Structure 1
Amino acid sequence: MVVSYINITIKLALGLLSIVMVINFTGKGNLAPSSASDQVQNYVLGGIIGGVIYNENIGLLQYFIILLIWVCLVLSLRWLKTNSAFFKKAIDGEPSLLISRGKLDTEACRKAGLTAHEIMFKLRSNNIYSIRNVKQAVLEQNGQLIIVMSGEENPRYPLITDGTIQAQALDSIDKTEEWLLERLKEQGVESVSDVFLAEYENGNLNIVLY
């Protein structure tokens, strides 16, 4: 039995080290998952450790190789999401616009798997009792509903993230892409792809370049 406990301890240590390594390489996203892929990779790791740790038929070398494969897959997935907007959208999806200018998009709600009762519950949780008072309500990938009320001047989302224009954020402040491109040129920015982050606050466009 002593040998079994030693194997279990080593397997636990390897699992812990793999978690620490992934967090250090990918940031703190695994600690507070913001997308489905972040949550799934945590579940997979839990399944690997839980399924292997007490299985005497799987040796330390096999277990190490399995963890190494998992780490490589997670790092590769993170790299693709960071460097390709197409892969990020394909892997994590994108926010869903449920309410626009007081009108509820029933088709978007159906695709998101939300009933009318669930939507109203989310609104009531934010002290909102009528969709007519909502200028924009967006369902994030993690299930959180972000609400912009009628009359709000500042968007809840940045206008540009990772070199990509966020059309929904522009719509929430009644601006167009042409307006945004013109504002970028005024600040000496020729291409949207050069912008890491652009926020709009109180009439000012704050830009962070790569």
Structure 2
Amino acid sequence: MLSFFNNFYFLVAIKLLIGLLSLSFVINISGKGNLAPSNASDQIQNYVLGGIIGGTIYNSAITVLQYILILLLWCIVILGLKWIKTNNRFMGQLLDGQPLVLVNHGKLNIANCRRAGLSAHDLSFKLRAAGYYYWEDLQRVVVEQNGQLLIIPYGEENPKYPLVTDGQIQTDILEIIGKDDTWLTETLAGMGYRDLSRIFLVEYRDGKLLVSAF
């Protein structure tokens, strides 16, 4: 009986160590510094991870080799989803949702507030926490996939958010500065950047584009 318990706890320790190592590996490879979920797919990944480790670590019927294979499959799925979301805007929005405009030129969009699950109290509280008390004074308010608010007041000539990230055009930010996709692509082409997929980041400052490309 003693040897059985010793063997059982030894296998649990091995599985726990493997789980911790695989988790550290995925975090480092995916570029995330912590486990705080920033969107829907991140939350699901955390749930699945908890189910894998919690459901198999104490199950003596699952061997260490089977456990390693399960974690390997999980790592492949996570990294595959990350690549898809980074390189395909449509799939990224399908998996994580997309930002919702709550305020546009001082007008409140109640339907989008409801879609985002924000009550009038929640929205007012978030605006007050950011230092704004009246939505009529705001040019644009957008709720991101992680629930954070992107707030642009009137008179903001240089938006604090990029126009292009990972080759994807941020149309909401373009609208804030009164531009469109055609203007952006033509301006970038004039600067020698014709392939958006090779552009890492584009920022707008004092009427000029600051470009970082691969």
Identity %: 51
Amino acid at match of 1:59: T
Aligned to 2:30: 26
The secondary structure found in structure 2 opposite 1:143 is coil
Q: Map 1:162-201 onto structure 2 (within 5 A).
A: 162-201=166-205
Report Cα offsets for 1:90-142 as digits up to 9, x if no partner.
Answer: 11121111111111111111211211111111111112111001111111111
Aligned to 1:50: 54
Shift, 1:29, TM fit: 5.8
Report Cα offsets for 1:157-179 as digits up to 9, x if no partner.
Answer: 21112222211101111223333
C-alpha RMSD of the superposition: 1.8
The secondary structure found in structure 1 opposite 2:80 is helix
Q: Which segment is superposed worse, 110-119 or 50-59? A: 50-59
Q: Which segment is superposed worse, 42-51 or 124-133? A: 42-51
Asked if 1:113 is matched to 2:117, the reply is yes
**Structure 2, unpaired ranges of 5+:** none
The alpha-carbon distance between structure 1 residues 57 and 193, as it changes in their structure 2 partners (threshold 3 A), is closer
Q: Assess if the C-alpha contact under 8 Å between 1:197 and 1:209 holds in 2.
A: yes
Q: Which segment is superposed worse, 14-23 or 175-184? A: 175-184
**Structure 1, unpaired ranges of 5+:** none
Shift, 1:60, TM fit: 1.9
Distance 1:6 1:131 in 2: 59
Q: Which segment is superposed worse, 184-193 or 168-177? A: 184-193
Q: Assess if the C-alpha contact under 8 Å between 1:160 and 1:197 holds in 2.
A: yes
Amino acid at match of 2:185: L
Q: Map 1:27-176 onto structure 2 (within 5 A).
A: 27-28=31-32, 31-176=35-180
Shift, 1:78, TM fit: 1.4
Shift, 1:191, TM fit: 4.1
Amino acid at match of 1:197: L
Amino acid at match of 1:137: V
Shift, 1:72, TM fit: 1.6
Equivalent pairs counted in the alignment come to: 210
When normalised by structure 2's length, the TM-score is 0.90
The secondary structure found in structure 2 opposite 1:127 is coil
When normalised by structure 1's length, the TM-score is 0.91
Aligned to 1:204: 208
